[in-house]
Chain A
Amino acid sequence: MKYSTQAAIAALAAASALGLTVGPGVGAEAVQADPNAKVDYQGTLSVLTKFGAQQLAPYFVGVAQDYEKLHPGVKVELIQESDDSVKDKTKTLVASNSLPDIYFSWTGSWGGNFVRGHRAVDLTPVIGPDTEWGKTLTPAAVQAFMYNGEYYGIPLYLDAKFMGYNKQAFSKLGLSAPKTFEELLSSCETIRKSGMTPISFGNKEAWPAIHYVGQLLAYDVPQAVLEKDFDPGTAEYSDPGYVAALTQYKQIIDSCTDGGASVNGTSYSSAIQTFSNTKSAMYYQEIIEFDQSASADSALKVSDLGFFTLPAPNGAKGDVKAIEGAPEGYMISSASKNIPLAIDFMKFVTSRQNGQVLSAPPYGQPSATIGGASEANMNPSVVAGLKEIASASYLMPWLDTVNPPRVASAWLSSLQALTGGSMTPEQVMEQVKQAAASSK
């Protein structure tokens, strides 16, 4: 288990090696963590988490309580946002200079924003590869948060996207996990004939579509082209693979879902509910959501939850062994009044013991701490998913966090249009190109 986690993270880090140089910021001064600072266990620590969802919220609440018990002078204030709201919230906080002491960040250009603005503490002296803390975390995961050669993030867990499926429903129809994209489409036909929704998909929030497309782009567009296009300075978006991937995406919408407009009107969370209620046969989800799809209380039994990577189309020009995903973690605000305390708290959060709690149900977030995932307690799908990540040749970053805001928003709105049928793949790419041109 330990091995597969580490290998997975190594792959993740390789993926995140792009866009690591970010321009110098003005305004705030750069702040570097001091490894010898004495921790003053007094005062309040505010933490912005991405664990606002009902199932995940207790994790940080529990950790904070344990920490407060250990250090009675400290009070931990949690701002728990959901996956959907954390982005807006973070920006509001940044705009008003009120970032909490510790805040959630994705890798890639999202995290780069904080580095560029000198809003994140340079953690190199405390979390770098040769440091005591750094050694307890899988080095590759730490590296995913490396910008300009320095380390800014504390990785908490790994994330990647897989197609979850209802094994029982599949076997009833004589189906098995599809190996190719074409097979996926034909399985959808079979499932639909049985009266079940093949894939439940909610795209009201607009980012869920990005996840399908990101994976397909990794299959259809060569890695080097993708990375060139992520950089606004060199973006062209002229590779024919883009249109091919979007056409495949549209095929999924048409053959596997309840229809584009319906998808746009359904929320991501209600789609997972449909899958979990065994009303749909498949649901494209993050590994960190496996424990929400199937739990002891849900109609979908844990043993019936299977998963496969979204199958690649025949003759795809990109990397067919790529998986979309990245580690996720936390940064420390350079404006924090008590940086040593914030660091101490995050050391506590990433301890082996807390890592094991995080990896196991009900949370199911595969920890990035070495030895923080104990296979015995974990959902077997999560364990198997980690192995898949380990064997991936490339990790495709999320399109909405890797791109600059204008390009990300062009992807978001025009993919909603493609989903709803009011734009063609070519028109979508036209929008993205325009946005990229104006972001130069």
Chain B
Amino acid sequence: MTVMAASGRTARPTFGSALAKAFLYSFLICLGIVVLYPLVWMALNGFKDNGQIFGDPFALPSRWTWGNYVQAWNRGVRDYLVSSLLVTVASAICTVLISAWTAYGLTRTPMPGKPLVVGLVLGGLMLSPTVALIPLVRMLQAIGLYNTYWALIILYTAFRIPFSTFLIRAYMLGLPKDLDEAARIDGASEGQIFWRITLPLCQPIIISCIILHVLFAWNEYLFAMVFTNGSAVQTLPVGLTSLMSKNGTNYGVVFAAMTISALPIVLLFFAAQRYFIRGLSEGIGK
């Protein structure tokens, strides 16, 4: 209750409000510790050997050697990282391009049955990947995509188009149309208008879409687990679980591998926080 007192913006310095402030900050800091400590523990355990991990979980590593990190890297994390990068980048490009394309078609062109198309594409938002799992296994096998990068790239693209289209379409609806009309009068084709005018104007939302897609694709597990086998095409989340079962007795290496796979996405979040938040706030409907 006292904590709440700080939520308004009254700045009258009384003893009560100072106390409330102290409570508020200690609450925020405690919560911060609860959030961050496990992650710090994970990274620190990457520096320990089994004896230390089994000994005192709170102790700092006795030696700061990168041995476990190097081992994790060489025992598969490198390959998983490459697969993850490839699948993430390729599916991000495909998703954003196709979605922007679609959004343009839906907002800027005369099209028969437009409400139907809008319903079809955005309706995909409601469908869950889990439900499609079993038929997809059979389908991908039948078309020979099972256990290839393409399986993941295509699925990530198909399942993320509805969301990205939703974001970009909303943004495009808010853009003024005078620029493309001027271009049209000057004889520009639809394609030229899309590439030269509309797409550059959509840059902020495109970046947001890319970031949200990266967050999704980098961390996706269900499809990656079911549709790939063999370390050659496995992405990080799946690779980590197999690393875990293969090195189950060497905990330091497992912790190091977990840390390596978490780091890029956390750094990306800090680097691109602004776009991230924009994407989230535009996409609240999802």
Contact = CB atoms under 8 A, between A and B. Distances in A.
Contacts of B231: 79-80
Contacts of B147: 96, 98
B230 A82 contact: no
A54 B243 CA distance: 9
Interface stretch (A21-29, A239-247, A248-256, A269-277): A269-277
Contact of A269 (B146, B232, B248): B248
B230 A53 contact: no
B50 interface: yes
A139 B248 CA distance: 36
Contacts of A18: none
A273 B249 contact: yes
Given A273-B50, A277-B54, A96 B247 contact: no
Interface stretch (A84-92, A188-196, A210-218, A257-265): A84-92
A276 B249 CA distance: 10
Interface stretch (B133-141, B195-203, B204-212): B133-141
Given A98-B141, A277-B50, A89 B245 contact: no
A52 B249 contact: no
Contacts of B250: 54
Interface in B43-72: 50-51, 54
Contacts of B248: 53, 82, 267-270
Nearest to B141: A96
A317 B173 CA distance: 80
Contacts, number: 64
A90 to B, nearest CB: 10
B229 interface: yes
B235 to A, nearest CB: 16
Interface size class of A (residues with CB under 8 A): 20 to 34
Of B137, B226, B232, B246, most A-chain CB atoms within 10 Å: B246
B141 A52 contact: no
A269 B229 contact: no
Nearest to B246: A52
Can you list the 6 inter-chain pairs with the closest CB atoms, starting with the nearest?
Answer: A269-B248, A96-B141, A82-B245, A79-B230, A273-B249, A52-B246
Interface of A: 46, 52-54, 57, 77-82, 84-85, 89, 92-93, 95-98, 267-270, 272-273, 276-277, 279, 292
25 contacts: A46-B230, A52-B242, A52-B246, A53-B245, A53-B246, A54-B75, A79-B229, A82-B242, A82-B248, A85-B242, A92-B137, A92-B229, A95-B138, A96-B137, A96-B138, A96-B146, A97-B141, A98-B141, A98-B147, A269-B248, A270-B249, A272-B249, A273-B50, A273-B249, A277-B51
